[in-house]
Structure 1
Amino acid sequence: MSKESVTVAGIDCGTNSIRLKIARVDADGMHEVVPRILRVIRLGQDVDKTHRFADEALERAYVAAREFAGVIAEHPIDGLRFVATSATRDAENREEFEDEIERILGVRPEVIPGTEEADLSFLGATSVVNRDDLPAPYLVVDLGGGSTELVIGGDGVSAPTTQVQGAFSMNIGSVRMTERHLTNDPPTQTQIDAAAADVDEHIDEAFRTVDAGKARTIIGVSGTVTTMTALAMGLKEYDHTVVDGHRLSLEDAYAVDDKFLRMTRAERREYKTIHPGRIDVVGGGAVVWSRVLARVSEAAKADHGEAIDSFVASEHGLLDGIVLDYGRRLLAQ
């Protein structure tokens, strides 16, 4: 007899943060058992330069994994999926990391390619979209510490809105751009220009695969996007319930991105809205985000004569996609 529902745990281990979620998955979707727990571990520290995990970064990851193991032990689950992304793809000593995570949690990390990361982010982001007020196609932008995924869905006529039509993973993110370019505090104009040029080169490459101009709605997911949205909204403390689903004009996004990009780290620290683990890299994320928004808006205008003038921030991305996809696969067995 097939199960009506399964309870699964998903872990998304990125370049800057690691997240856990436990949820019950059934025919109606996903129902939270343990809402998202996030720890900033900066696993990707210096990986762009050394192509190796630093010892202290690994230790931070193991501390978080042991904490997550304790949480998972308190809930009966049908399965756990641990997904590792950009930094782990690039690290030469990733086997050491995989072995220790398997020892702590009992499952081996799956180091997924950028294309699968893009698909799962799209699944997570679009699983909760209120489709009535957002015109399709949706372009989901998942801006991480080491990579940024662009994924476009169908228009609802020739293809379903939730079906991926094109996806690309760019090797740029908040940590990578900060370590590679924004080395002064605050960054110099020359460094900012170099970072923007680097981002534009990657976008050029992505647009050859993803027809971003077809997009009518941009959905932004990840810590950079939600943090910058909260700052633009003037929140004194981060509140995911207010940020999730908020629509922000591109003008407001550019203004807040530029303001925080040019601040010193000490100045950023005055804003409780920014997670302490993002203080030093939020400027790198801001460069990526502003360039992606500008380029997609321009491409939309060139494609159908209408520039996109806003985006929707979402708290739902890769982690939701991991949990939902894994739960559905267990149900199908």
Structure 2
Amino acid sequence: MNKFWGVDADPTAQGRIKGAKPVAVLDIGSNSVRLVVYERHARALTPLYNEKSACALGRGVGQTGRLADANVAQALNAIKRFALVCRMMRVGKVFVLATSAVRDAANREEFVGAVESVMGSKVQVLTGEQEAHYAALGAVAGILGFSGFVGDLGGGSLELSRITNGADTDGCSFELGVIRLQDDSGGSAERAAAMVRERLAGTSLKDLAKGASFAAIGGTWRSLAKIHQVMTKYPLHMVQHYVVPAEDMIAFCNEIVAAGSLKSYPGSAHASSSRRELVPFGAAVMAEVLKAGQFRDVVFSALGVREGYLYGMLDAREQSIDPLIQGAEELSVLRSRSPAHAGDLIGFTSQFLEASGIAESDEQGRLRLVACLLSDIGWRAHPDYRGAQSVDSIAYGSLSGIDHPARTFLAQTIAIRYDGLKSKTAAALVDLGTPAQTERARLLGALFRVAYPMTAAMPGILPRIRFELDGGTIKLVLPADLTFLNGEHLQNRFDSLAGVAGFKSAEIVVA
């Protein structure tokens, strides 16, 4: 009898991209060991499986110079499970990366040999400079056009890099990881802050970074961002591209450090048990880095070394692909009734804007294209919940290359497409965007509501329909053989569109 992980039949579901070969990164860090399996190695990375084990390999390395036996045993046990996961998921290639704790340990070779035996893959022990480089690439991959500094905070070290024109320079590593700081400071976040301040004092950070943005990477900083979102009642609990003014984040971090407790501080109840005692040390590092560099703001990145490593392996052509558009195209293929209809919708909306004289910037055009690709992803849900479920898929999905206001725009657009202009789901997201973005979402959503009753989400109809502007009247021109599409339902939706667009009236005519 075959074991469940040895069956010959392909276990891949129809909801997966056809022909895609999963790729995995096993990240052996100072605080946790994490396996992430991605659906395929592409510009837009979609996590297929993500699991971590808090092994705290870095605990005590600064004092003893060795990985503790108990922590090694825990890590190897987790890695055995991760090896099984890779076999079951038929991963094509596994990249094993080890960072600060392993590179600094005297018994690293013994540990690395054990990991390679389990995984059947070579372990790459990253230098501090390499770790800084791949963390920087992770930020570049997920935050389009980012310029400033990137900081990757792990359990054993802090890596800093400067990003200019999509390339990183000045990469360096500091022994300021949260576990190392907890050990070296005797468990005092205030003493840890003083240590960070002292070690950064001799750097040129202030001269290089003043007024720039700081991209924050690392699990402890992600926890800090989540706590900040809860405490400030931020409506979108999405860490990727979460932006906070530096002075606000410094004040928040100072409150956590000043609390003098590793278990009870502002927002501690919202931290995971594995991160709770580390967050004050992450706050100490964050506050001191932001002050030392006199940064303008901090933007949190959920993409880091793992994603940066895979991004760095792509050729220049693949790196230049827009990850938001690629990710939306994938969702359209996997979840819409007809991906070809999205192409028709792109042309249909473009012709409306041209005919009605409504200007469109390059970024507005990019987001319109993405909205068209995502416009039919909720069709399987109950009609009463299609808007809400689509919003969740967009607002909390793994799309990258998009900031929070743009996520809000897309989510509002699709909510209106399903629920109408009075959508409560769309209204709940208004505060994250600008009034102009909300009006644009209402316009595009209303336009979608005109298109779908005519097409049933199938291609071939929209290219035969056009818009014309006659004074203050917008006209929808149908070919003679589609006259029967003209009815009260379509007219009502067209009237709504005209109202949003600012036209005096709307008329459906036959060519």
TM-score (norm 2): 0.53
Deviation at 1:225, TM superposition (A): 1.5
Gaps of 5+ in 1: 155-160, 298-307
Deviation at 1:318, TM superposition (A): 0.8
Aligned equivalents of 1:232 and 1:179: distance in 2?
A: 25
Q: 1:248 aligns with which of 224, 244, 248?
A: 244
Aligned equivalents of 1:236 and 1:100: distance in 2?
A: 45
Q: 2:194 aligns with which of 193, 197, 203?
A: 197
Contact 2:231 2:267 in 1 (8 A): no
Matched, 1:102 2:130: no
**SS state of the match for residue 30, structure 1?**
coil
Contact 1:18 1:38 in 2 (8 A): yes
Q: 2:223 aligns with which of 207, 224, 227?
A: 227
Q: 1:9-41: CA deviations, max 9, x gaps?
A: 112211111222222123xx1332524322211
**SS state of the match for residue 182, structure 2?**
helix
TM-score (norm 1): 0.80
Contact 1:6 1:327 in 2 (8 A): no
Contact 1:171 1:202 in 2 (8 A): no
- Give the AA of the match of 1:257: C
**SS state of the match for residue 139, structure 2?**
helix
Q: 1:175-212: CA deviations, max 9, x gaps?
A: 111110143xxx3xxx72x433321333245537x963
Q: 1:9 aligns with which of 21, 24, 34?
A: 24
Q: 1:125-151: CA deviations, max 9, x gaps?
A: 1101143xxxx5321111111111111
Partner of residue 174, structure 1: 178
Gaps of 5+ in 2: 1-18, 319-511
Aligned equivalents of 1:216 and 1:309: distance in 2?
A: 5
Partner of residue 509, structure 2: none
CA RMSD, 1 decimal: 2.9
Question: Structure 1 residues 89, 215: CA separation in 2 closer, same or farther (over 3 Å shift)?
Answer: farther
Aligned equivalents of 1:205 and 1:12: distance in 2?
A: 31
- Give the AA of the match of 1:10: V
Partner of residue 50, structure 1: 64
**SS state of the match for residue 80, structure 1?**
strand
Question: Structure 1 residues 36, 327: CA separation in 2 closer, same or farther (over 3 Å shift)?
Answer: farther
Partner of residue 325, structure 1: 312
Q: 1:87 aligns with which of 98, 101, 104?
A: 101
Q: 1:149 aligns with which of 155, 159, 163?
A: 159
Aligned equivalents of 1:240 and 1:65: distance in 2?
A: 34
Aligned equivalents of 2:74 and 2:174: distance in 1?
A: 26
Which structure has the highest helix share of the two? 2
Which structure has the highest strand share of the two? 1
Aligned equivalents of 1:100 and 1:229: distance in 2?
A: 35
Aligned equivalents of 2:102 and 2:144: distance in 1?
A: 34
Deviation at 1:279, TM superposition (A): 2.1
- Give the AA of the match of 2:303: H
Partner of residue 274, structure 1: 271
Partner of residue 7, structure 2: none
Matched, 1:137 2:147: yes
Question: Structure 1 residues 270, 226: CA separation in 2 closer, same or farther (over 3 Å shift)?
Answer: closer
Partner of residue 62, structure 1: 76
Aligned equivalents of 1:102 and 1:256: distance in 2?
A: 42
Partner of residue 169, structure 2: 165
Question: Structure 1 residues 73, 269: CA separation in 2 closer, same or farther (over 3 Å shift)?
Answer: farther
Q: 1:114 aligns with which of 120, 124, 128?
A: 128
Aligned equivalents of 1:226 and 1:195: distance in 2?
A: 19
Deviation at 1:241, TM superposition (A): 5.7
Deviation at 1:270, TM superposition (A): 7.9
Deviation at 1:118, TM superposition (A): 0.6
Partner of residue 296, structure 1: 293
Deviation at 1:268, TM superposition (A): 5.3
Deviation at 1:236, TM superposition (A): 11
Deviation at 1:328, TM superposition (A): 5.5
Partner of residue 489, structure 2: none
- Give the AA of the match of 1:278: R
